[in-house]
Amino acid sequence: MNRKPKPIDWRAVNLSAWLVVILAYVYPFRAVENGWIEVGFPFSFLTIYNHWQTNLLASLSLNPLSLFLNIVIVYLLISVPRSLRGRSKEKGDPS
């Protein structure tokens, strides 16, 4: 039975992105050697260096690939149970 793949649920992607940012504030930071601090869950996507240079942006390092992977993981954690629940309701399960 061929099923047409469902399009991306952009509301869930938006929710996932916000959850990743909120988890970065809530989840404890990880201290690394030389006084660096890494932020992000499950992969660290922001590194704050201890040596302050001329401005704040010079002492930050953002890894966009890790940020994207975090958003994809949270999106899958949101969308897979939703689709499984939708399939069970289609088959007539009361749960």
SS3 7: coil
pLDDT at 16 over 70: yes
The predicted model scores a pTM of 0.77
Q: What does the pLDDT look like over 48-63, one tens digit per residue?
A: 887 766 677 778 889 9
Q: Which amino acid is at 68?
A: F
Q: Is residue 70 classed exposed, middle or buried when 0-12, 13-18 and 19+ CB atoms within 10 A define those classes? A: buried
Q: What does the pLDDT look like over 79-95, one tens digit per residue?
A: 888 777 766 666 665 55
Report DSSP state, residue 50.
S
* pLDDT mean over 29-55: 82
Q: What percent of the chain has pLDDT over 70?
A: 83
